Amino acid sequence: MSMELKRLRYFLCIAEEGSLGRASSALGIAQPALSRQMRMLEDEFGAPLFYRTRNGMQLTEEGSQLRAAVTGPLRLLELATQSARSVSGKVEYSVALGLPPMIVTVAAQAIVHRFDKAMPGIKLTLVEDQTDQLVDKLLKGEIDVAFLYGQIPDDRLFGGDVLDEEIVLVGAAECGLSSDHAVPFKKLAELPLILPRAQRGIRSLVEKLAVRENIDLNIKFETDSFQIAKDLVKSGFGYGILPVGAFQQDFESGALSYARIDHPDMTQRVILAIRPHFQIPRGKLLELSRVLRDEVGRLVDAGRWPVRVLFPSG
């Protein structure tokens, strides 16, 4: 890779880490040398790319524009180089896997462990983001494969259904919810709710049902952070509407309580989507899909992910 492309890779790493020191450690490059490379890139670009602050490095407007412009093409170039060299077995493949925050909580560690055992020739990168942002990253080539909520959102992507998750009402431990007593959906109009801002997924599902049932929701807080949502619920600021598997440990420890929602029941579809023009041999792609689906099945069989699997076992 030429020095100019390396500088762009260094730039993207600093933008991702938000710190010159953390990027230096991640890249294995001395911090003064990395700083010098960024000054040279800024000279070439003709504008500052970062604000240097006491808390780290933040992208300027020009830096944000450069990041958006080069992330996808640079990744595609690196993958094309890998593909060209793989015939001689000199390089391994890399795969960037996107996961929504609630699935990270349940499955990320297990997926990493499974990949390490089953596909040692694959370098796995995990990217956590909301479904809307993951779709955008797939289309730009910034990630290769992703678990998403809903249906295939764009005909340029391909994939299939993986599972259905039950969506439940979650409250603080002392709020009186019980898994033995379902709450009618219309009851949600009487409760202060904590919902995600992202329109795809739970937010869309809840709002569509509210329109259908002719009720007005009392949305007290909005946050796309799963952890913040859980903390607010634990502190009694409101009620969350979440997949039961995402907080199973909190329920078992008594930190949270939940009740099923009925009339109508609430479920959320999870799909596995693959980006267009994914440069990986078909055999590797099939193996990749199998490993991901197998790990979902393992988590379900072990009782760690209470969902309904939609693909054949075995």
What is the per-residue pLDDT across 108-123, written as a single tens digit (0 to 9) for each?
Answer: 999 998 888 888 878 8
The reply to whether 145 falls in a domain is no
Residues 170 and 262 in one domain: yes
Q: Where are the beta strands (DSSP E) in 73-188?
A: 93-99, 122-128, 145-149, 158-172, 183-184
Residue 116 in any domain: the answer is no
The pTM of this model reads 0.70
Q: Stretch 20-33: mean pLDDT, rounded?
A: 82
Residue 98 located in a structural domain: no
Contact 150, 267 (CB under 8 A): no
- Residue 308 belongs to a domain: no
Same domain, 172 and 259: yes
Residue 189 lies in a domain: yes
Q: Does residue 171 carry a pLDDT above 90? A: yes
Domain limit, last residue, from 235, 252, 267: 267
pLDDT tens digits along 109-159: 999 988 888 888 788 889 998 888 899 888 888 889 999 988 887 788 888
Q: What's the pLDDT score for residue 233?
A: 95
* Whether residues 171 and 79 fall in one domain: no
Instruction: Identify the CA nearest to 171 among candidates 239, 245, 101, 84.
Output: 239
pLDDT of residue 238: 96
Distance CA 9, CA 42 (A): 14
Does 228 fall in a domain?
Answer: yes
Distances (CA, A) of 299 to 91, 106, 201, 245: 31, 9, 22, 10
Instruction: Quickly list H helices, 119-262.
Output: 131-140, 202-213, 226-234, 248-253
171 and 263 together in one domain? yes
Q: What token pair was written down for 32?
A: 């003064």
Question: 25 vs 19, 41, 154, 268, CA distance in Å?
Answer: 10, 20, 37, 39
Whichever domain contains 214, its CATH number is 3.40.190.290
**In 10 A of CB 59, how many CB atoms?**
19
With respect to residue 252, please indicate whether it lies within any of the assigned structural domains.
Answer: yes
Burial class (CB in 10 A: 0-12, 13-18, 19+), 257: buried
Looking at residue 16, which CATH number applies to its domain?
1.10.10.10
| Average per-residue pLDDT for the chain | 85
Q: Within a domain: residue 291?
A: no
What is the pLDDT, as a whole number, of residue 92? 64
What is the number of residues in the chain? 314
Rg (CA), the chain: 22
Report helix, strand or coil for 148.
strand
Number of domains in the chain: 2
pLDDT, mean of residues 69-82? 67
Residue 88 has pLDDT above 50, yes or no: no
pLDDT band of 231, cuts 50, 70, 90: very high
Rounded Cα gap, residues 132 and 98, in angstroms: 11
Q: What is the pLDDT of residue 90?
A: 44
Share of the chain above pLDDT 90, in %: 30
| Domain around 50 | 1-90
pLDDT of residue 313: 57
